[in-house]
Amino acid sequence: MKTAILLLHCPDKLGIIAELTKFITDNNGNIVYLDQYVDTVDKMFFMRIEWELDGFRIPQDKIEEYFRTLYCSRYDIVFNVYFSDVKPRMAIFVSKMSHCLYDLLARYKAGEMDVEIPCIVSNHENLRYVAEQFGIPYYVWSIAADHSNKAEVEKAEMELLERERVDFIVLARYMQIITDGMIARYPHNIINIHHSFLPAFVGAKPYDQAYKRGVKIVGATSHYVTAELDAGPIIEQDVVRISHKDTPESLALKGRDLEKIVLSRAVKKHVERKVLTFNNKTIIFS
């Protein structure tokens, strides 16, 4: 059953749910999902509403226009409309570690993730065999040690992403900083996995930092990439208990299981259009 999904936020106002659900039901839309949340601190209203398009009076390609005209300025609404029959196109960026890549591709292959994957991008040849196992094109641009060709590489990558009409990017343990140009082109559409419980252990070698500090629990954090390093809106986190017996190496090994699970959960929520961002934080619908 084909559905439309409306994700929106606006200043909270009396009767807004009644008004918006009325818009759907008055036009003969059968609501199959509704979740809303009021941020009582910032006085903001957030909603995800999904309804069946079959029998809906407004044609699919006019929904966005009608909704904008009828409600946007009136309620100061920021929104997006998605349709269940349009699969988002996802690019995966990797470096040398395979665990997150395998996890994403295994889910994709098993039908767990409703996306197209037109390309895998890397700065190393190492994981070409994985891409080949799954029959997905693999592109490599080496980055010079002095980063002298960084701008050039990113230009080539952006051209590829344009050509392949990529909607969002997953950094599956891609060990390079993304520059502001690419971030600006894909706002809140680049998902990273950081191998620590942010904001603890920002930056390089978080497992070494965790070992040195002697923490009893380590974590992983998936977040949208923003201009400030490891400081974007957090989508998902999880942790695992460790002990004094763990070395930096055993931490890294335990962490891998966290990283892949946390990244996949975040990607899934993003693909299902269940993530809203506001004030550098996320609202995650269930």
Residues annotated as catalytic (active site), given as ranges? 230
Give min distance, CB of 155 to a second copy, in A. Answer: 32
> For a second copy, which is the closer residue by CB, 154 or 237?
237
Exposure b/e, 95-131, CB count within 10 A at least 16 = b: bebbbbbbbbbebbeeeebebebbbbbbbeeebeebb
Q: CB of 214: closest distance to a second copy in angstroms?
A: 3
Taking the CB of residue 20, how many other CB atoms lie within 10 A of it? 22
- Give the pairing type, strands 275-278 and 234-241: unpaired
- Among candidate residues 104, 108, 107, 135, the one with its CA nearest the CA of residue 119: 135
Alpha-carbon torsion, ordered 113, 48, 166, 176, to 10 deg: -80
- Given the rule CB under 8 A, which residues bind a second copy? 14-15, 17-18, 21-22, 25, 30-34, 36-41, 97-99, 102-103, 106-107, 109-110, 112, 133-134, 197-201, 213-217, 219, 233-239, 241, 243-245, 247-248, 253, 256-257, 261, 264, 280-284, 286
CA 279 to mean position of chain CA atoms: 16
Q: Which residue, 69 or 247, has its beta carbon nearer to a second copy? A: 247
User: What is the closest distance, in whole angstroms, from the C-beta atom of residue 210 to a second copy in the complex?
Assistant: 9
Query: Which tokens go with 136?
Result: 């997905």
Of 55 and 59, CB closest to a second copy: 55
CB of 261 to a second copy, least distance (A): 5
Q: Which is nearer to a second copy, 148 or 243 (CB)?
A: 243
